[in-house]
Chain A
Amino acid sequence: MDFINSNLLTILILIPLVGAVLTLGHQMFWKQEGQLKWLTLGFTLVNFVVSLALFSSSAKAGPSGFFFEQNVPWIKAINTNYHIGVDGLSFWLVILTTFIMPIAVISTWHAVEKKATAFYIFLLLLESAMIGVFVSLDLLVFYLFFEASLIPMFFLIGVWGGENRIYAAVKFFIFTALGSLLMLVAIIALFFMYADQTGLGGSFDLVSILNAMKAGNLVLGPQAGMLLFLAFALAFSIKVPLFPFHTWLPDAHTEAPTAGSVILAAVLLKMGTYGLMRFNFALFPDQARETAWIFITLSIIGIIYGALVAMVQPDVKRLVAYSSVAHMGFVMLGMFSFTEAGMQGALFTMLAHGVTTGALFLLVGFIYERRHTRKIADFGGIANVMPIYTTIFVITTMASVGLPFLNGFVGEFLIMIGMFQSQVLSITESINWNYIAAMAAGTGVIFAAVYLLWMVQRVFFGKVTNEKNRILADLSWREIGLMVPLLILMVYMGVFPKPFLARSEEAVKAIKERVMHQGGGSIEKTDVLPNIPATENR
């Protein structure tokens, strides 16, 4: 037990890796491609089961407040350590990753015809890298996993994608790589600032850097701090994607195979928001506060823009992709409100979006497998032919819209509350910008309802216009089985959000405190707002 407690995260990272190697070996020696999906499914399921051990109550926080912490020296020359651990921020994201992977694998049961071996290997490698991203506490190790997750996705889109896959894959890669390279420079710069100011030699360790900052041993100058912050923020904003950097997302989503889209939506996008919270807020609280208005503005633009563009998309998948842009805008908004409610909401929305949008992409995938088209115009009246499919689709859409008692609602509601409470935007006598921001975001919800429901209406209801649609088979047991856990989660998260929120409470509080209490520039204003709980004023 002790062994597992101390090595659980490493095991989580390694299981898919071992799976990938075994898959390769299996194929080399037995050449039975049909068995590979079982093998892969097995590994992802095992990983999921193992990841449930994270719930174990016997776990104790490590010296730096992280659970399942592990800190092993890696390359001494540059003083980088293999330092991993989970806390409230990353806990659910890890579970989400291991949860979504088996579903993604099952979704590809019949879809992948060519080069199946490589496909499964890339899926497994991707899982490994994603888990690594969420658990690493060393900046360099984080960067390593962050970049490493690119390659499998790049191949997934490029080889198994649609018509325009090459363009989409390259665009995806270059956008993300460009951002993260700048982050690398920032990481190295941080390393030297640490070395310079503490005199302990450089370090990539997040915990040490944070401790030094808290103790006042490491003080970033305003200019340097801003540059570093921007470098980090750019990398994550591209990944999220924030409004002006979002153009890779629709392309990548549209061209990716179903499993790829699911993973992309469910997990990869969360890396950006996770990174912002974990690194940007923690390392550069002052800069985060100062620039919050920019991010809030951009997220609002993103929400509205995403919704508007989604409305006119002729392609279902593209529509869902733009809805992702809007939803991630919400997440960003919540985070940059710097209130407990807002950030909790953001975290919750990340999970909810993962489940819902993943499910939506799966559903689009199902119909694509049957009709080999995703044009809204090609459908119509599907409800008559595929009742089960329609039911599931409508429920999922509702979750995405944010209907109460489904998961989408909780997160968005919390975010709005957070925004109303927020104190990051300047509040003058006449205009309370927070309210305006919150209301603007609120219109996003309405837009979301409009475009999603309109799409549902066009696709599922009315008469069957296209003859080809008459003979469509309804969902198979496999597909239903695939959707059921997701549906259960949607409802469960909508009704009992408490356990999800409880896990992250501590971490969010800590971050919030760090952001709002450093530097002290805006502390006075807290008194102006009556509805802030007293605990947050400490």
Chain B
Amino acid sequence: MEQVLKTAFPFIVISVGILLAFQGVLMIVAYTVLAERKVLGWIQGRIGPNRVGPWGVLQPFADLLKFIFKEDLVPDKSTKFVYFLAPMVALTCALLPIVVYPFGPRIADPLSWLVPYVSGIAYLGDAVVWIAEQAKNMPLTIARIDVGVLFVLGITSVGVYGIALAGWSSNSKYSLMGGLRSSAQMISYELAMGASVIGAVMLAGTLDLNGIIQAQTQSPFKWFIIPQFIGFIVFLIAAFAETNRVPFDLPEAETELVAGFHTEYSALKFALFFMAEYVNMFTVSVMCTVLFLGGWYVPGLSYLFEVGSIPYALVSHVAFIGKICAFLFLYIWIRGTLPRFRFDQLMNFGWKFLLPVAIANVILTIVVVFLLNR
């Protein structure tokens, strides 16, 4: 029995971690939606949703309910299996990168304060002691892998399937066009994104996300946004394109394509796409934060709290979320202010401007790093 428990323990921890993280992320996402509507309203001199709950705080839940109870229409000549698969793929791929993000610094000893409280209790006491021992040096990451950056990029690139398949399986012209455009766009900008990341990776000397953050600690001037400013800008632009946000929301350009790849989707399946888009925004923001803004690192915090202590971790975590929120605000802000590109402009911009710039940045970084290390 004990043996089984011990074997199962890591899986339990990971499951709990995944649940927590996903729950948190979904909450953030839900409120991003609300925030977007509010902020857009504010920018456009409107009020935004304000009926459900005080100041409209419960609006996301109302929306959810509405989605659930709506009639689920399935186009007659669609390819059913793929049609159902597509939204799931989209959301899964959007959520998966969360697994590797470091949400905060390592906590040296998170549970040992509990031990005195339960010391006398049979079974539970022993268990807590054992768990506390296991939990030492606990990272605030679900899965620490060596190749975090590649993992994120890989999963993001797989995300294209959701959109492409959705467009194809609906058996509708508009959907197909939207799907095609969107996949073309995502493939194109993925390159620029990957290239822009290389600079930061080179400076950090690792593909491990935590390692990248570590490389930026000690001073805000070590944040890669400074040496890698070009990379940052490129990444940001590419991130907008990757998430199909304004000004790159060609796939769902209403005036041309009705609603793009999800024209034929309704109810819960549409909700999945909708969520996927916002989760994508979130994950891309996290990535940007990690790569260029020092992740959870708060300058000067180590003077206040001991590194590795619980409060240090908590504050860092909150700061991390804060940085992400800033990015999310940026998304909304830009949506409120910029018009949409034309498709050929978008492609030209991606291939003829963004990618060369990103590559130039890589070369520049190589040269600088080489010269500095001579």
In-complex A–B contact (CB below 8 Å)? no
Residues of A within 8 A of B (CB): none
Listed in ascending order, the chain B residues whose CB lies under 8 Å from chain A are none
